[in-house]
Structure 1
Amino acid sequence: MGTLTLAMVAVACTGGGNGAITNGASAKPAKGPVKRGGTVTIAELGAAPDFIFPLPPATNQNGYNANLTEAMWPYLVYAGDGAKSVVNKEKSLFTSLDYTNANKRLTIRLKSWNWSDGRPITSRDFSFVYNLLKANASNWNAHLVGLFPEDVSKVTTPDAHTVVLDLTKAYNPDFYTDDVLSTIPLLPQHAWDKTSATGTVGDHDTTTAGAKAVYAYLQKEGAKTTAFATSPLWQVVDGPWKLAEFRTNGYYSYVPNTAYSGSAKPVLDKVVLSPFTTDTPEINALRSGSSLDVASLPLNDIKQAEALKSSGYSIASVPIPGVSGILPNLHNSSVGPVLSQLYVRQAFEYLINRTQIVSKVYNGYADPGNGPVPVKAGGPWVSALEKADGPYPYSPDKAKALLQAHGWKVVPGGTTTCENPGTASSQCGAGIKAGQALTFDLVYSSGRATTDEQNAAIKSSEAQAGITVNLRSEPFNTLISKIGTCTAQSHPSSTCGWQLAEFGYDPYPLYPNGTGFFDTGGYNNAGGYSDPKMDQLVKATEYGSSAQAFTAYEDYTARQLPWLWLPLREGLLVYRTKLQGVVPLNPFSSANTFEDWAYSK
């Protein structure tokens, strides 16, 4: 939820109106001799990681944690190669993935790499992860009901570098590789398979009780922010970087893992992530030219581009593969019945002037937000419907007509109320009482002036149909601590009292279907949207590779509005011109490839 990494926050547009800006999708690192060593300081805007164990609990939806951990414990499948939407085989942990038995058997052959303590990475490390998740899947924040590990009927490890998965279903190999295996890290069984700090390492994970005890211990340790950089547990890594320092305000730094087995060895001595709570001090630091090497340029400061270029910075643009929207809580005790009415969500969407927001708020640097797949970064997956402005282009007249047709007294500039309660097609709908007002509270992540401007514009445009939107911004970490996943069965007031929420955006994996976003029980489905047809359409994209099946899912989702679609803002990546390897930036992974960066001589 709201993963805002360097690769996600500082990425930018695919085109645009300033000569100082290049397209990061096609830009190439400068050629020439490089020098070893040096420190790079990167601005991290928004929030701080708060968990280091790479399998966070279901209650922790802080997307910044992947920013911290993926450089140390990369996923089995490394998503993205530069700006290319492909699997990066060089940085992945496998040598081959073979789907056989009509795509119901997967044979994974692991690279002969080592952990940082010199011990080999083996198939036992995979079975360790599998055993932990099999016993604790419901307490893993990336868990999708029915997928890994439930979809594995048997795991065998014929040798130290081979894993065979017998699957319960025949999956689309693109989906399973791109969206499932790219969420599974390998973890050091020889160092972490214990149930307490003083306990001995063993094969505890091979029993359900033991796996639960190990998982509970690692999750408890994973929340101790003051020990992130000092605990012996987190010193055993297989990625190119090790954590050198971590402060609770979000400042942290990496140093090279000198035992890294990959071919791209780190050249820099140190990488520092420096936190900024708002974009104003960040732009001030860039203007000073001394403290930051890499940062995002706030879109409201676009006029600074030329000045920064003359100060030794380059500015690159990269498309963002993701989706932005306002999440409606369909199970809120007061407004859930209203938001559950599709026509209400349609009216709300008709009143969001996305085209104007892109132009006036983001200076043209944003995806139009016409549906669940980004138009600019969606590649071949974007449907004709989304390319043609989506199903709900801005139309206040259509919004008013919808509400009037369903029994509402529309008061432009005032408060629209239900005057014809009931469940007939011309009435307000189930659970809506006479006099119910179309008044909603919208909470959103603070720190960006453009987000404030966007939501102020939405508040103003919704008022045209008498819809009142009360705005409240909060720091990202505070926001996600109050937003729980709300369903008809479970919606405690402490985490389900919210009505509308906006986190920024959510990044997509390589295969941009709605698994985990819009299906029942999805980890990003905080508002509790549930629709059997949606579930069926999402599953069709998982099991088959039909382009028609994907379009059917995409267009249905665009029309059903499980989220209220918003423009997907684009940042601009600012980096020192003498720093090579920064672009093209990988927008598909939280692990920025710092090992590819180096200063020119």
Structure 2
Amino acid sequence: MTGHPNSADTAHALPRNRILRRLPAAVGLAALAALATARPGFAAAPLACGTVIVPPGVGLGTPPASVTSLNTFVLSSAYNQEAAGLLYYGLLWVNRDHKIDFSRSLATKIGVSKDDTTFTVSMKPWTWSDGRPVTTKDVQFTYDLIKKLGTAYIPYGSGGIPMLIKHFRVLGPEQFQIVLKHPVNPNWFEITGLSQFIPYPAHSWGKYTVNQMWRRQSDPSFFKVIDGPYRIVSFKMGRHITFGPNPTYQGHKSRIRRFIMKFLHSSGAEILGMRTGTLDVSNLPFSLWQAGHRLKNVRMMEVTPNFGFQMIQLNYKNPSVSFFRDLRVRQAIADAINQEQAIRVLYHNTVKPQYGPVPVDPPTFLSPSARAGKYPVGYDPAKARQLLDAAGWKVGPDGIREKNGRKLEFTNVIPSGGATATLWTELWQQNLRAVGIQMDIRQVTFNQLIAMTYKPLEWQAMSYGWSLGSYPSDGPQFRSNGNYNQMGYDDPKMDRLLAAVTTTPGNQALYKYEDYASEQQPVIFQNNTGVVLLARDGLRGIRKTFSPTGSWSPQYLHWTTPHCGAQLAANTKP
């Protein structure tokens, strides 16, 4: 998928932060007792060998939340994708260097025609959990389902899927071919388009209509035929989901007996879980930085941040904030926000400022100007005031700018539950007021925020994090009528540049799009948030398990403490 929203513990509404705060009042003795019961006998046996418990969002640095669906065709979020990805083996595995690792992919190779229109994919022999082979018919089922869903398919348009495809041909049980309507940038199409062709069991799912799939998206019995490393043991909506090893999985065998995603809803609950032993791995909320450092028998690991960016998404469809259509206003907002202050105060200097759509860490796809730190915008309050003056916004008696009897004021909706997100947004609020812009703050749950994006008159701006695919072109969000463009952004030049990114080999077209987007600020780009993990002593395989693109591989986790060794063989049996 090209991108998807995620919640985060900072103003990057799907961000984070680092100012020490008292644990929320709701996380008291009662919550402590409730969490402690999640692992019976914890006090007597501090490490439950064979079991690893984590909250959703680990590795992305986002605040914890719930998994609501295991079918990402019908309801997608970063949390849902983390869970669903454990059940099904992906066609392509893209590593931290943003290259395809065929050793961890179902595909074994991809042949590309000289004119960059035909892609021939070969697959390794693989088996569903019911003994039937995984074949190209299952890949075709996925393609047909995408076509059937149309724009209801969450990443519709990402990677040109499905409208770019002229022919889909099954060449044999383990080889298929895709012919495109015009030449493309092979790198973009492979890791953004082809990666969507995850085989799903045609002989099982094909019995159901789309409506039936929707109704059973959280029903474990629907997901019994799998080919990934884990199977569902239990799914308690709003509480947890438990996975056990898939005994027929042909890849790296799980070294733990149970992998549990425990649904939490505050940063304080993560710290509490690590303190009491009811969690084995979590993100370190930056708002509880010092509390994390005081934990015993827990180590800290700084890992590559989520491949994406934080943003203030602007609503171009809402007439009450039509001033967002003025480039000078957007640039003034970007110039007014002091990212370096937030990075220093909230993120303990773990990340860098970002003013464009391409992540700065790793710098793989940065344009030469972005790599040199030269952006069209940057923290410059004096320039922000000049832009607003030129746009006709004059400072009123209360310090807020006005124009034609209208104040330069808007409400920014952010996800609740992230202390850093709140602190970061409050810093933005101060920065913007200093140049004469009033930004009010409204907090809602993450699921409410996502629902609001489809109701343009109910919001003016919202802040959250955006996870990219492994190739950072964000057509579905910034292209006119893009499937993720609920904000209504419309710029013909942006459309042309994004089209060039998808059809021009190499990265030069990507650089041009990147620099133009940095100038235009279709959303107000903000720095990504760093990711620091808390892991219980004795647990290994962390870095190989949690990917900055949101893919999980918990089969590489294992306990190494002496008293666990004798139990490992028994506990890894399903």
> Under a length normalisation based on structure 2, what TM-score does the superposition of the two structures give?
0.85
Shift of 1:166: 1.3
Change in CA separation of 1:179 and 1:586 when aligned onto 2, cut-off 3 Å? farther
Rounded Cα–Cα distance in structure 1 between residues aligned with 2:407 and 2:13: 36
Rounded Cα–Cα distance in structure 1 between residues aligned with 2:457 and 2:91: 35
Are the aligned partners of 1:245 and 1:253 in contact in 2 as well (CA < 8 Å)? yes
Deviations 1:43-82 (A, max 9, x none): 23432122222312xxx453322112111123321222xx
Task: Give the secondary-structure state (helix, strand or coil) at the position aligned to 1:381.
Answer: coil
Change in CA separation of 1:542 and 1:450 when aligned onto 2, cut-off 3 Å? same
1:41 to 53, 77, 88: 53
Rounded Cα–Cα distance in structure 2 between residues aligned with 1:340 and 1:550: 24
Deviations 1:92-149 (A, max 9, x none): 1111111115111111112110011110001111111111222222110011178112
Task: Give the secondary-structure state (helix, strand or coil) at the position aligned to 1:138.
Answer: helix
Are the aligned partners of 1:313 and 1:574 in contact in 2 as well (CA < 8 Å)? yes
Q: Which residue of the partner structure matches residue 319 of structure 1? A: 305
Rounded Cα–Cα distance in structure 2 between residues aligned with 1:64 and 1:586: 13
Task: Give the secondary-structure state (helix, strand or coil) at the position aligned to 2:87.
Answer: coil
Deviations 1:8-27 (A, max 9, x none): 999999xxxxxxxxxxxxxx
1:69 to 40, 62, 84: 84
Deviations 1:525-546 (A, max 9, x none): 2312121111111121111223
Worse overlay, 365-374 or 547-556: 365-374
Q: How does 1:523-538 map to 2 (within 5 A)?
A: 523-538=483-498
Rounded Cα–Cα distance in structure 2 between residues aligned with 1:387 and 1:344: 25
1:377 is aligned to 2:362: yes
Q: Which residue of the partner structure matches residue 35 of structure 2? A: none
2:237 to 235, 248, 251: 248
Task: Give the secondary-structure state (helix, strand or coil) at the position aligned to 1:516.
Answer: helix
Change in CA separation of 1:277 and 1:11 when aligned onto 2, cut-off 3 Å? closer
CA-atom RMSD in angstroms: 2.5
Q: Which residue of the partner structure matches residue 270 of structure 1? A: 258
Deviations 1:167-226 (A, max 9, x none): 11111111111111222311101111124xxxxxxxxxxxxxxxxxx333322322xx3x
Shift of 1:520: 1.9
Are the aligned partners of 2:283 and 2:532 in contact in 1 as well (CA < 8 Å)? yes
Q: How does 1:580-595 map to 2 (within 5 A)?
A: 580-584=540-544, 586-595=546-555
Q: Which residue of the partner structure matches residue 437 of structure 2? A: 467
- AA of the residue aligned to 2:66: A
Change in CA separation of 1:9 and 1:560 when aligned onto 2, cut-off 3 Å? closer
Task: Give the secondary-structure state (helix, strand or coil) at the position aligned to 1:78.
Answer: coil
Rounded Cα–Cα distance in structure 2 between residues aligned with 1:12 and 1:350: 21
Change in CA separation of 1:585 and 1:544 when aligned onto 2, cut-off 3 Å? farther
Q: How does 1:298-377 map to 2 (within 5 A)?
A: 298-308=285-295, 310-335=296-321, 337-377=322-362
Structure 1 unpaired stretches of 5+: 14-34, 196-213, 419-433, 485-493
Structure 2 unpaired stretches of 5+: 18-46, 57-62, 566-574
Change in CA separation of 1:5 and 1:140 when aligned onto 2, cut-off 3 Å? farther
Q: How does 1:5-44 map to 2 (within 5 A)?
A: 38-44=50-56
Rounded Cα–Cα distance in structure 2 between residues aligned with 1:528 and 1:75: 32
Q: Which residue of the partner structure matches residue 421 of structure 2? A: 451
Q: Which residue of the partner structure matches residue 146 of structure 2? A: 133
Shift of 1:577: 3.0
Shift of 1:406: 2.0
Q: Which residue of the partner structure matches residue 402 of structure 1? A: 387
Are the aligned partners of 1:283 and 1:297 in contact in 2 as well (CA < 8 Å)? yes
Q: Which residue of the partner structure matches residue 246 of structure 2? A: 257
Q: Percent of counterpart pairs with the same letter? A: 26
Rounded Cα–Cα distance in structure 1 between residues aligned with 2:532 and 2:391: 44
Change in CA separation of 1:10 and 1:447 when aligned onto 2, cut-off 3 Å? closer
Q: Which residue of the partner structure matches residue 187 of structure 2? A: 174
Shift of 1:516: 2.0
1:509 to 454, 466, 469: 469
Shift of 1:508: 1.7
Q: Which residue of the partner structure matches residue 278 of structure 2? A: 291
- AA of the residue aligned to 1:43: P
Are the aligned partners of 1:483 and 1:496 in contact in 2 as well (CA < 8 Å)? no
Task: Give the secondary-structure state (helix, strand or coil) at the position aligned to 1:253.
Answer: strand
Change in CA separation of 1:586 and 1:538 when aligned onto 2, cut-off 3 Å? farther
Q: Which residue of the partner structure matches residue 50 of structure 1? A: 68
Q: Which residue of the partner structure matches residue 566 of structure 1? A: 526
- AA of the residue aligned to 2:256: L
Deviations 1:574-596 (A, max 9, x none): 11231121114543443311111
> Under a length normalisation based on structure 1, what TM-score does the superposition of the two structures give?
0.82
2:6 to 3, 16, 21: 3
